[in-house]
């Protein structure tokens, strides 16, 4: 089995870090763009797409900065993360998505994230 490889993608989001953080860290925010529905009990998030559900643990949460999730059953070193930064040069809000995928699937995963983040910016009103 091929070991998954870490990759990162950066997106400029026309939003305040606080508003963006709400969309990437709360069930109501994530339900608007990431999954059809998201429920959470404490740090366990249930992501639902159609008839499929997956559970992820929120393993790190720094308000207005980053949130990291790990799918249940995934190796400890694999996660997906949303990190929010302000560009020192342009003062833009930057969302850095970190994920893991098989090397041959990184291009497809990148396209999927591009599509998801496009939906996010539309819901924020920054699209």
**What is the spatial distance between Cα 8 and Cα 29, in angstroms, rounded to a whole number?**
21
Can you give the CATH number for the domain in which 26 is found? 3.30.530.20
pLDDT confidence of residue 94: 96
pLDDT confidence of residue 126: 65
Structural Rg of the chain based on CA atoms:
14
Q: How far is CA 116 from CA 11, 43, 88, in A?
A: 11, 22, 26
Q: pTM for the complete prediction?
A: 0.93
Q: Phi and psi at residue 64, in whole multiples of 5°?
A: 65, 10
**What is the spatial distance between Cα 85 and Cα 102, in angstroms, rounded to a whole number?**
27
pLDDT confidence of residue 22: 97
**Total of domains in the chain:** 1
Domain that holds residue 22: 5-124
Nearest CA among 15, 20, 55 for reference residue 35: 55
Q: Average pLDDT across each block of 10 residues of the chain; the chain has 127 residues. List them in order.
A: 89 95 97 97 96 97 97 95 95 96 96 96 83
pLDDT confidence of residue 3: 87
pLDDT confidence of residue 127: 59
């Amino acid at each position: 089995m091929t070991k998954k490889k870490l990759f990162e993608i950066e997106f400029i989001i026309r939003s305040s870090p606080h508003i963006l953080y709400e969309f990437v860290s709360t069930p109501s925010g994530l339900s608007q763009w990431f999954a059809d529905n998201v429920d959470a009990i404490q740090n366990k998030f249930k992501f639902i797409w159609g008839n499929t559900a997956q559970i992820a643990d929120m393993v790190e949460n720094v308000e207005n900065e980053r949130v990291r999730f790990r799918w249940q059953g995934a190796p400890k070193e694999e996660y997906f993360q949303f990190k929010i930064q302000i560009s020192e040069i342009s003062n833009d809000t930057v969302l850095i998505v970190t994920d893991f995928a098989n090397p041959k699937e990184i291009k497809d995963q990148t396209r999927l994230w591009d599509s998801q983040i496009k939906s996010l910016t539309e819901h924020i009103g920054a699209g």
